[in-house]
Homo-oligomer: A and B are copies of this chain.
């Protein structure tokens, strides 16, 4: 039950982006350096985030990435789900197998199903704005 570093990187990078973009594109190179994330790896993550319509890209010199919408409209759950693909705790919930021949199987599946809903529900209750505000607060007090 461990979150991939992919997801952790993605959220940290998004907070960084939100903090440092004043409406202007932020280059991955800068984010990678500040957050100590391998640049090439970060590129892959932002490709997914772009396809997930969470960020927009600007190519060419002076380019970089922008939030696709205001930070209050971006939920952490989205970010995680986008880079992490399936946010379901067990495999047999994505693809349909014949499974569930055993009566206990279904019972436990219900548990995992509900667990997944709880996880998504919690992560969706937090916005990028929340994190950004908190990060700014911490940054200023210290």
Contacts and interface: CB of A to CB of B under 8 A. Distances in A.
Contacts of A7: 1
Nearest to A8: B90
How many chain copies does the complex carry?
A: 2
B12 A106 contact: no
Contacts of A114: 122
Interface residues of A, number: 46
Interface in A1-49: 1-5, 7-8, 11-12, 15-16, 19, 34-35
Interface of A: 1-5, 7-8, 11-12, 15-16, 19, 34-35, 76, 80, 84, 86-91, 102-108, 110-112, 114-115, 118-119, 122-123, 126, 131, 134-135, 138-139, 142
